[in-house]
């Protein structure tokens, strides 16, 4: 590797040009934080991941940015990066295990070569239950997401769960999922007060989810960091079984269908072994003009 390369991949993609697009930037030198943020804005993906060698070829330092900020953890960038590193550094191996060192944790991902791409399983941290929103406190969140009380799935609680990034899980019916949108400009402040970073709507019956950036400008079409918390939530409340591998769909309503496979191990009292799996398609690669590093 010489200088700074970029690669475009599709993650949670059953075929090319589906799933969640991702830009991966590989650099053999440190990149300034401000430049990483500016490049992410330039590339205009939901997230961009920057990789530098830490103990290559197995271990890499990873930084993840949205167009607004840096994230301490994100799912589809980890899965996409692992597939690319397998492709570049283990070209003769059918399987490879990669380690990505994020700001606050190291994530292990197992990659397998498949026809037309790679299948990667990311191992997430044990779920942590931050809070349950009391029924009388739900209205500001339903209002923010343009949801009526009738569209709220009252058989499940509204809870904040994390396996690395805290999500407010909002159970809705199918009509609620299709009609929701972010309709306020202070959703992030509302979420911060209960310990959440983003809101994730889930139709438990259809096993389908939906989320946006907190201003509602961009809908995320596949959210790996939410898939672990949602899987743990469904198991905890009897909507999925421990050890069951099942699919969580996302992106259909944004015209970009994605397939996320999840499994929760352990016991009901101590869930462990949360695995999030997705297929990755390599789309394009190139190089940055070296003048931007000056």
Q: Where in the chain are the domains?
A: 4-122+279-293, 128-269
Q: Contact 60/261 with Cβ under 8 angstroms? A: no
Q: pLDDT band for position 292 (50/70/90)?
A: confident
Measured CA to CA, the distance from residue 286 to residue 188 in angstroms comes to 35
| 117-127 residues labelled b (16+ CB within 10 A) or e (exposed) | bbbbbbbbeeb
Pick the CATH number of 128-269 from 3.50.50.60, 3.40.50.300, 3.40.309.10, 3.10.310.10: 3.10.310.10
Would you place residue 174 in the very low, low, confident or very high pLDDT band (cuts 50, 70, 90)?
Answer: very high
**Each residue's pLDDT tens digit, 212-225:** 999 999 999 999 99
Alpha helices (runs of H) in 100-223, residue ranges in sequence order: 139-144, 174-179, 187-192
Equal fold, 4-122+279-293 vs 128-269: yes
Q: pLDDT-derived band of residue 3, with 50, 70 and 90 as boundaries? A: confident
Q: How is residue 71 written in tokens? A: 């994230």
By C-alpha distance, which of 256, 232, 84 is closest to 166?
232
Q: Chain-wide mean pLDDT for the chain?
A: 95
Lookup result for tokens 């509204």 = 158
The CATH number of 4-122+279-293 is which of 3.30.360.10, 3.10.310.10, 3.40.1390.20, 3.40.50.40?
3.10.310.10
DSSP 172: B
Question: pTM for the complete prediction?
Answer: 0.93
Q: How far apart are CA 74 and CA 165, in angstroms?
A: 7
Q: Are 166 and 132 in contact (CB under 8 A)?
A: no
| C-alpha to C-alpha distance for 16 and 116, rounded to whole angstroms | 9
Percent of all residues in the chain with a pLDDT value above 90, rounded to a whole number: 91
Give residue 130's pLDDT.
98
């Amino acid at each position: 590797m010489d200088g700074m390369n970029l690669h475009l991949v599709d993650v949670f993609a059953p075929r090319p040009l589906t799933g969640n697009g991702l830009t991966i930037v590989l650099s053999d030198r440190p990149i300034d934080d401000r430049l990483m943020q500016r490049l992410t804005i330039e590339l205009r993906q939901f997230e961009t991941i920057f990789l530098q060698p830490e103990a290559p070829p197995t271990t890499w330092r990873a930084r993840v940015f949205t167009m607004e900020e840096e994230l301490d953890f994100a799912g589809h960038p980890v899965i996409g990066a692992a597939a690319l590193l397998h492709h570049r550094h283990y070209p003769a191996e059918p399987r490879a295990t990669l380690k990505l060192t994020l700001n606050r944790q190291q994530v292990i991902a197992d990659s397998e070569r498949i026809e037309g791409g790679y299948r990667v399983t990311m191992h997430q941290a044990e779920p942590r239950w931050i809070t349950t929103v009391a029924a009388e406190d739900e209205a500001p969140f339903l209002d923010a997401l343009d949801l009526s009380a009738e569209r709220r799935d009252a058989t499940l609680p509204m809870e904040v769960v994390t396996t690395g990034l805290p999500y407010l899980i909002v159970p809705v019916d199918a009509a609620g999922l299709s009609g929701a949108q972010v309709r306020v400009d202070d959703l992030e402040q509302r979420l911060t007060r209960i310990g959440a970073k983003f809101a994730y709507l889930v139709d438990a019956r259809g096993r389908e989810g939906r989320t946006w950036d907190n201003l509602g400008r961009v809908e995320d079409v596949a959210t790996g960091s939410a898939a672990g918390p949602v899987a743990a939530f469904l198991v905890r409340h009897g909507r999925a079984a421990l050890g069951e591998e099942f699919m969580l769909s996302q992106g259909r309503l944004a015209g970009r269908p994605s397939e996320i496979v999840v499994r929760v191990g352990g016991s009901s009292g101590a869930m462990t072994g949360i695995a999030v799996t997705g297929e990755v398609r390599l789309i394009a690669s190139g190089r940055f003009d070296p003048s931007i590093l000056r």
